[in-house]
Structure 1
Amino acid sequence: MGSGHYFWAILYFASLCSASLANNAKINFREKEKKVLDQILGAGKYDARIRPSGINGTATYVTVNMFLRSISKIDDYKMEYSVQLTFREQWTDERLKFDDIQGRLKYLTLTEANRVWMPDLFFSNEKEGHFHNIIMPNVYIRIFPNGSVLYSIRISLTLACPMNLKLYPLDRQICSLRMASYGWTTNDLVFLWKEGDPVQVVKNLHLPRFTLEKFLTDYCNSKTNTGEYSCLKVDLLFKREFSYYLIQIYIPCCMLVIVSWVSFWLDQGAVPARVSLGVTTLLTMATQTSGINASLPPVSYTKAIDVWTGVCLTFVFGALLEFALVNYASRSDMHKENMKKKRRDLEQASLDAASDLLDTDSNATFAMKPLVRHPGDPLALEKRLQCEVHMQAPKRPNCCKTWLSKFPTRSKRIDVISRITFPLVFALFNLVYWSTYLFREEEDETF
């Protein structure tokens, strides 16, 4: 066997020895971790029921921070929202100090929360909630050499969010996440927000109908008959996306109102067409209104969408009433025309009868009226006064009356006036509505 073979054999043996030593070192290191855990959490050495004392026996301070992973829904009807977050708490327990083996042991990791003392924090506005256990429970506890404890868990919550819907759907909503101590008063336990970015939000957070504009952390300590309790809160400001409601509600309502105006351009005698058009638009508008209200809670105040749908419904109903007025005026015009025709027929008949009498009675004497009246005649004097008045005060031409005089019947005049009045009033309503609610939205934006 040559010297080269001896060299490779020695190198191979050395590598086996180093691997064995490394494995033994790891085993020994894990053994040391086990010894440390047994040393600080062994039976009779640590009681998880006892609260760790703070500095000089004061209250225990717990710093809190969280990471918002997702906000799945915001329910207007139930006034609640669902959120998934990673929740973290950190405090110091002097009983859990240990030797870090010259910096090699950075922290100990536990997956059983009941092994150490835990703050009794709860979410005060929570409706439902659950932990995540797939594939393993999403929770860990890290114990650091100086006795600091870090608790982290992933949870999903459904939280109450009281909403003010007066400006719906041009509104902004503030939904809170409140956390408080259930049993320990501020003399024993105090919650604090972690300094420097205590709340983090996942990038590209997507919400179907809302946008998360900003959030604010604050304190909300509460006093009860049993004492004062520490409380933390996060206020989330959501802005409702208006484009969805513009396409689904506002534009269809405008179209229905405009379609109801087509009745003004139809012939007065087209009764079935005008009635069916008015009734159809009215029923469609009523269905649209009921569908909108079905997705909202029954509140005692008037919402912005109620004003819009109510006025649109009034315009559609007004178009139907306008046809009823036109129909009545048309029948009245027809009745007057018939009366005038009968009067003309009677006058013509009386004139014919008088001419027949004149032709048959050739010996009749006639009382001739004077062709020229004397100046003192009352009739001549009245006629002269009327002429003087007309000459002194000439009439000014009235554009509206002149224009309306082109349409001989009252029913036609009503249709023509409605063609102008309804669009003008609706345009004025839109101007007032949007200026009022958009301005109030900016005015009421408080956070």
Structure 2
Amino acid sequence: MRSECEVLGAASVQDRGAGLPDGASERCRARCDPRAERSGHWSSSASRLLLLLLTLLRDCAAFSAEEAALYTQVVGSRYSKSSPPQTADNKTEVFIQLEVTFVGDIEDSTLGFQLHGWVSLLWRDSRVNVEVLRQLGHRIMPEFLADRVWQPSVVFESIGRVERCEEADVFVRDDDFLLSRQRMVFQVLCLGQQANFILGVTVCSLVVKLFHNGDSVPSLTWVNNDTVSPLRGQYESVTVHRDARPFIYALVLTEPVQLEDASTVVGSDPTVAARFHFSKVTWSFLLITYMPSTMVVVVSWMAFWVDVGAAASRVTLGVACLLMLVAQVGHNRIANPHSTQLQPGDVWFFVSAVMVFCSLLEFVVAHGAYREQARAQTAGVANPWASSSPVAEPRYRVCRKPPTMRAVTVMCDTASQTERSYRAYRVNELDMLARVIFPVAFALVASIYFLWYATSYD
């Protein structure tokens, strides 16, 4: 395969370089002629130097005379944007506030929710003469100044797609604080972050870290921190608008948390987090989760009013109730395919299944006692479980008057032993106790469950 120089030498002088890419002929001359290579090197260095000078001139030309004077008064010529402001104890203090304007529901497909809000960062920079800006009426720092002063850089962890991120505006406050306010729209992920799963409360954390220079000790603190922030009591660390509520879930709590401080952990980035506590207790959730299972449990209690000797009917009723609960558990899992932890609905279904299973066990005990009593009655032994004593009950029979008789003859005899035994064992004492014990126990468990749920998260 021939090189570009060989191709160029084989071509005619007029067509030299005509079919080659731009700059190919220059590269070929540089390879074939060492003097051309040295001249190309000097021309490349000169081009770079010229480009640098043009960039500096463009930056200088971007300043008007008024802007240059304001820049000199506010910042000065010795200001370095790469150096963070430091306090007397060599600290760089940054305070953060999160204002939430919209919170979406947790999506089952992404396990995250959409958040609209404003991120505010406050810091002091003694190198910036903010008094001049206030005297001139600049409550918002001009863009050419904001681009040339130090601003804190933060990064958000545990987030998904970022749909909107506007440029931050720098405000000048009366207390010499600089305020950077930025509007953002992004998705907060809730992967593996679930607390108090018995009560169905999901916790999603938005983690914020501060980038810092190794020469200083950075500090990122919530604006309402009781121990560090000089702005405590003036603002809330995390504020949520009243109309910023999800539709399906209920945002029951927003909690600002201080995770790491670079002053105590060497080599770490200062980190804070905002924890969002979601609850899925709505009327639709209650109707879908709790009402069907409660009805199944109540239907299983009907077996206590069925004859204890009807084994087929009572067993069929109990097994059908268990199968209905199993179907509801499967439907709940299909509705939440990404959930790997124990859900509050699962706990409730387990309690309901235990109640139905206990009703089946009660029938087994009652039916066994019934059979033992029947055998004992047949053998002439007294019956301890009977609800009524096996006394002889009269049975009346009315005979039709024969043609030869003048009056109706009424004959009275005692019932047979089999009929008296059937009447004695028809109502079992265990069933009578179960009619009271099972509803009371279920109501007690349900009351504890819901009272615990209601009082845990106000």
Query: Is 2:239 the partner of 1:197?
Result: no
Identity of aligned residues (%): 19
Matching residue within 317, 324, 345 for 1:284: 324
Equivalent residue for 2:152? Answer: 119
Change (3 A) 1:190 1:402: closer
- Mapped partners of 1:410, 1:227: distance in 2: 85
Alignment of 1:256-335 (within 5 A): 256-265=296-305, 277-294=317-334, 295=336, 297-299=339-341, 305-319=345-359
Are the aligned partners of 1:220 and 1:232 in contact in 2 as well (CA < 8 Å)? yes
Q: Assess, with a 3 A threshold, how the Cα gap between structure 1 residues 40 and 291 changes in structure 2: closer, same or farther.
A: farther
| 1:250 counterpart = 2:290 | yes
Q: Is the 8 A contact 2:162 2:187 kept in 1?
A: yes
**SS at 2:199's partner residue?**
coil
CA offsets 1:31-66 (integer angstroms, 9 cap, x no match): 677556876999x98654x12332458322222222
Establish whether residue 54 from structure 1 lines up as the match of residue 86 from structure 2.
yes
**Cα-to-partner distance string for 1:310-364 (whole Å, 9 max, x where unaligned):** 2322343455567778888999999999x99xxxxxxxxxxxxxxxxxxxxxxxx
CA distance 1:264–1:164, shift in 2 (3 Å):
same
What CA distance in whole angstroms lies between the structure 1 residues aligned with 2:383 and 2:253? 61
Residue in 2 that maps onto 1:401 = 386
The aligned residue for residue 70 of structure 1 is 102
Unpaired segments ≥5 residues, structure 1: 1-29, 341-396
Paired residue for 1:153?
182
Structure 1 pair 55–336 and aligned structure 2 pair: CA distance change class (3 A): closer
Indicate the residue corresponding to 2:10 in structure 1.
none
Taking the aligned partners of 1:207 and 1:404, their CA distance within structure 2 comes to 65
In structure 2, the residue matched to 1:140 is 168
Partners of 1:263 and 1:188 in 2: how far apart? 73
Over residues 112-168 of structure 1, what are the superposed CA-to-partner deviations in whole Å (9 max), with x where a residue is unaligned? 9876533232234x2424151xxxx52232264998643222222314473233532
Q: Is the 8 A contact 1:64 1:193 kept in 2?
A: yes
**Are residues 1:84 and 2:84 paired?**
no
The Cα shift of 1:252 comes to 1.4
Compare 256-265 and 73-82 and name the one that shifted more. 73-82
Spell out the pairing of 1:358-377 with structure 2 (5 A cutoff): none
Q: How many residues align?
A: 349
Higher-RCO chain (CA-CA 8 Å, sequence separation at least 6): 1
CA contact (8 A) 2:139 2:173 kept: yes
Residue 439 of structure 2 corresponds to which residue in structure 1?
Answer: 427
Cα deviation, residue 255, structure 1: 0.9
* TM-score normalised by L of structure 1: 0.59
CA spacing shift, 1:332–1:398, aligned 2, 3 Å: closer
Distance 1:405 1:112 in 2: 104
Change (3 A) 1:113 1:408: farther
Opposite residue 449 of structure 2, the aligned amino acid is Y
| Contact kept? 2:93, 2:220, Cα under 8 Å | yes
Match of 1:7 in 2: none
Which structure has the highest helix share of the two? 1
CA deviations on 1:258-287 (whole Å, 9 max, x unpaired) are 223444555789887666544433221111
Change (3 A) 1:71 1:331: same
With 84-93 and 423-432 compared, the bigger mean Cα shift is at 423-432
The AA in structure 2 aligned to 1:107 is I
Secondary structure at the counterpart of residue 122 of structure 2:
strand
Residue of structure 2 equivalent to 1:162? 193
What is the alpha-carbon distance in structure 2 between the residues aligned to residue 413 and residue 231 of structure 1? 73
Alpha-carbon distance between aligned partners in 1 of 2:246 and 2:133, rounded to the nearest angstrom: 46
Matched, 1:103 2:139: no
Aligned partner letter, 2:339: P
Counterparts of 1:222 and 1:56, CA distance in 2: 18
1:424, distance to aligned residue in structure 2 (A): 2.5
